[in-house]
Amino acid sequence: MNKALLIKYVKGDATKSEVEEVLSWASEDLKNADYLAKLQNIWIFTNMHQTDASDEELAAIKRVIRKDGNKSYKRMFSWAAAASVALAMGIGGWYMGKTSGSDNISLSDTDRLVAEQVVYKNISPSKELYTNKGVKAKIILPDSSVVILNSDTRINYPDKFDDKLRVVNLSGEAYFDVAKDTLRPMIVHTKKGFSIKVLGTKFNLKAYDNDDKSQATLYSGKIDLIRSSGNRLVSTEVAPFQTIVVSDLKKSNPVTKIMKPSPLDDKAWTEGKIIFDEAPVSEVAKILERWHGYDFEIKDSSILNYKITATFNSESLVQVMDLIQMTSLVRYEIKNKTVFLYKK
């Protein structure tokens, strides 16, 4: 048997006919099965997460071993291969659980690769760009994807994407127009405990480190929001013009899909517009800080939840604050680079 084919099988890259060829070879002789099992164990061990198995995972391994006693795996290759399968099931359970509405589906091999690096981490070698408050930027990624960065946003990515995944880290807000590549998904990692998987799509992602909630709005194509939940990797599909909102991941239901009346508002910032729709003053202050590069200080906490509804198109900060002051119970004054907010 060709060793390259065995390695391809163990990595999960073999075609259906190649899988049948390998399983047929393994079933011919116990030594073959033993050799394949050892290859699988080596692969799993070198690629597994460095964390202790949970009670649930250990129970899964025991169940698989018992199944082997009931001849569930005889078609594959005797006890040696079953031992490898048991180990794979114990670790692989961490990857299961894809959701679309109330459906649960197994994640793909690509998602397993994502699972290995679902946590935001540095990419090396990498290029990094940070847009200061009051500054926006447009960049072209190595695959020709276009990304528009909002203020106070940091992005880093490799000099060249590898042959399996296009990995990007984002902290802040950006509008992505991703070049289509069905063989190489793009993975956008955030520091908020989730990642976005995309093939060729247009979407807006807002994931600032100091925001309580994050959200992604899809405009074309399809994206999956991927997060860990206990010992499982959970993927939630998003359809065009849907918005997915992520709150505290420690909560029982941290992810919500909604249909907004005006989803295009979420990317209005790329056209120089700020749209507030019943936004609390606390959120308005945060957005204006990023947009204009001024610090905001709220002097009266009673105005924090006042709601502001307005649309601005390239107005100066003074013009924006004048309108807010005229149409609400909020009063302001600017000293140096700080805006102070009071109750009227």
Residuewise pLDDT in 10s, the chain (344 residues): 777 787 777 777 778 788 778 777 776 766 777 677 666 655 554 444 444 445 555 555 455 445 444 443 343 333 333 333 333 333 333 333 444 433 333 445 555 555 555 555 556 557 899 999 999 999 999 999 999 999 999 999 998 998 888 999 999 999 999 999 988 889 999 989 899 999 889 999 999 998 989 999 999 999 999 887 766 778 889 999 999 999 877 777 788 888 888 899 999 999 999 999 999 999 999 999 999 999 999 999 999 989 999 999 989 999 999 999 999 999 999 999 999 999 99
The token pair that represents 147 in the structure block: 């990304």
Q: Can you name the residues that pair with 214 across neighbouring β-strands? A: 246
Q: Which of 84, 22, 90, 26 is nearest to 55 (CA)?
A: 90
pTM of the model: 0.67
Stated length of the chain? 344
All structural domains of the chain, each given as residue ranges with its CATH number in brackets, are 3-95 (no CATH), 98-260 (2.60.120.1440), 272-343 (3.55.50.30)
| 125 preceded by a cis bond (ω within 30 of 0) | yes
Q: Are strands 186-189 and 194-198 parallel, antiparallel or unpaired?
A: antiparallel
Residue in the structure block whose two tokens are 């114990």: 90
d(CA 148, CA 139): 6
Cα–Cα distance, 61 to 44 (Å, whole number): 14
Angstrom distance (rounded) from CA 173 to CA 149: 6
The C-alpha angle 60, 66, 72, rounded to 5 degrees, equals 100
Instruction: Give the integer Cα–Cα distance in Å for 275 and 268.
Output: 7
